[in-house]
Chains A and B, each alone.
Chain A
Amino acid sequence: MTPPVTVHGGRREDPGPSTAARRRTASRRKGRRSGRRTMPYVLLVPALAVLLAALGYPLFRQAVMSFQEYGLAQQFGQPPEWVGVDNYTRLLSDSYLWTVIARSIAFCLLVAATTMVIGTALAVLMTVVSRGVRLALQISLLLAWAMPHLASLTVWQWLFDAQYGIVNWLLTSIGLDGFAGHSWLIEPLSFFIVAGVVVVWMSVPFVAFAVYAGLMQVPVELEEAAAIDGASARARFRLITVPLVKPVLLIVGLLQIIWDLKVFTQIFVLQDAGGVTRETNLIGTYIYRLGLGEGQFGLAAAASWFVLLITVGLSLYYVRVLIRDDEELTR
């Protein structure tokens, strides 16, 4: 990247005889120059201040707290005690944390994979159907995408309601009588099936639209040229479409993994609606219940840092790709 350059950077003042007038213009020019130099910083101040206050400081505070004994006693005024890496060792030796992490990763990978497969399939489907059908499909995907998370979670609870839910009605009316009055959220496995269905339903539209946009960027000439050269439809898809859409797939897939790893609202609300908390906790709800539920802020802070490191580690690739784009943009 080029070194910082200001408009007047590097130009020397003419060291001529210094009359009063000359000095005045010189100082004015200098003033404007330093204005030019400080201007970007002044523009950044508001955004920077908010970010430092609401993200930077909590991040720092959290780091400090993770090395302290910070429980309910400290909440009521007792000075926190430094305990070194105690919180971390306690967490890492707790098998429950590992259960939660393993559960979260399994849930995340399954849901992200399902979302990617369905989303990509829908995107490809959009390219082969006629225009009216495509529009209908796009509108219904947009409806699902636009629904506020809490509203859609509430609707899904109603769909899966034990007594009057349409899902149980549908299943019993096709002959599965076991589902009459079946309560979906009590069993951990069926709890996660419901949670997974809700998350997939919400996330597929973004994937479908992003991949569809990527598919539309594949130049028609390339496809035509390959067709003329006798490549079959399948070969064209594999040799032309897939390589060109791959970057989009990679980034969208990574975003899905990041988002599904930190899924909180869906699990939390469904636990409220009747799930067994201990058997259905994922990382987000675990930290919430540890900190705000049990008042173990030190432990919760340590767990948060742990999750942060996992997520940032996962996202490094994404950041690298975006930075590369950025340099192309500003070159």
Chain B
Amino acid sequence: MTTRHPDSSVLDTGGTRPAAATRHTDDATWTTQRPALRARKTAAGRRRRMWNALAVVLALIWAFPVYWMVNSSFLPFNRIRNPDPTFIPLGGTLSAYERVFDSDFLASLRTSLMVTLITVAAALLFAFLAALALSRFRFRGRRTFVLAVLVIQMIPAEGLFISQFKLLEGWQLLNSVVGLSLLYIAAVVPFTIWMLRGFVAGVPRDLEEAALVDGCSRAQAFFRITFPLLAPGLVASGVYAFLQAWNEFTLALVIMTRPENMTLPLWLRTFTDANRASDWAGIMAGSALIAIPVIVFFLFVQNRMTSGLVSGAVKG
């Protein structure tokens, strides 16, 4: 800086704005150095092409496992058990998917759907009520509760499952959808409260009060004014709860010990172990069936998820 503007400190007197002076000299230097600038521009273009190429390579690497899953799921036995891999499933077959449906897949799908639905519904309701309490009222114990909600998120699930197993065992809830859902609700409620609280606090109270003045009842004001404004928050936290319950493996492994009560991740694990030596196409078809609904869902709401996660969890 000092070499390019040796006079800038001299110009910094009286009412003269140093910034304006700086910019002026800057323009002057640039006009005199036009050819150099153009050279720099093409260099920048070359560098940008290089970065683009690198980014494309990295994108391909990151997406490759997902592509390979879909690709392998369409291959017949003789092509998948071949020392030379097939990169594009031309002339593929759906028989792997048939084999998946012939296993316990549908029963596990039903268990997973039930657990997920109960978890999403209960977690949303409970968290919404709690978020209302936290952002609309001031009361003794509020701070403690917020603190507890945060600390709970730190607890490693793996450090608790021993006594959660004992708990459900005592209540005769092992191997039951209700028992597993109970644990899932408790696992997602803290973060859901955290996320929703921000959304509830974002709806101005005056809006509700204006509706009250205009003759709405409290309930009407809530359902007509506040609720629609909260919809995006509810969707985002609902998706969060859905993903957690749909993907969870550890607790399901501990709680659902009987084969007829498996959730989808447990089913996939058993199916993989049984067919590892013989049927990778079937295993990939099973993985794809579990993954694709989630991926579609995720891509659909990803904007909200990222902003929710970033503002909720990593607000610097």
Contact = CB atoms under 8 A, between A and B. Distances in A.
User: For the side of the interface on A, what is the size category?
Assistant: 35 or more
Interface in B196-222: 198, 201
Interface in A223-268: 228-231, 245-248, 250-252, 255, 258, 261-262, 264-265, 268
Contact of B163 (A65, A273, A329): A65
B284 A155 contact: yes
A134 to B, nearest CB: 7
Given A62-B163, A144-B66, 9 more contacts: A6-B139, A50-B182, A54-B185, A54-B186, A147-B295, A158-B72, A158-B280, A262-B159, A300-B162
B254 interface: yes
Contact of A318 (B154, B158, B268): B154
A58 B272 contact: no
A58 B164 contact: yes
A219 to B, nearest CB: 14
A47 B290 CA distance: 30
Interface in B1-60: 1, 4-5, 19, 22-23, 26, 48, 51-52, 54-56, 58-60
Contacts of B164: 54, 58
A174 B26 CA distance: 53
Interface of A: 1-2, 4-6, 36-37, 39-41, 43-44, 46-48, 50-51, 53-55, 57-59, 61-62, 65, 122, 125-126, 128-130, 133-134, 136-137, 139-152, 154-159, 161, 164, 166, 169, 201, 204-206, 209-210, 213-214, 228-231, 245-248, 250-252, 255, 258, 261-262, 264-265, 268-269, 272-273, 283-284, 287-288, 291-292, 297, 300-301, 304-305, 307-308, 311-312, 315, 318-319, 322-323, 325-326, 329-330
B193 A308 contact: no
Interface stretch (B80-88, B92-100, B227-235): B80-88
Interface of B, helix, strand, loop or mixed by DSSP: helix
Interface of B: 1, 4-5, 19, 22-23, 26, 48, 51-52, 54-56, 58-60, 62-63, 65-66, 68-69, 72, 80-85, 122, 125-127, 129-130, 132-140, 142-143, 145-148, 150-152, 154-167, 182-183, 185-187, 189-190, 193, 198, 201, 246-247, 249-250, 253-254, 264-265, 268-269, 272-273, 276, 280, 283-284, 286-288, 290-291, 294-295, 297-299, 302, 306-307, 309-310, 313-316
A329 B68 contact: no
B254 A292 contact: yes
5 contacts: A40-B142, A125-B51, A137-B56, A264-B158, A269-B269
B160 A58 contact: yes
Contact of B154 (A48, A230, A319): A319
Given A133-B52, A258-B154, A151 B22 contact: no
B142 A148 contact: no
A83 to B, nearest CB: 17
Nearest to B257: A292
B309 A323 contact: no
B189 A47 contact: yes
B68 to A, nearest CB: 6
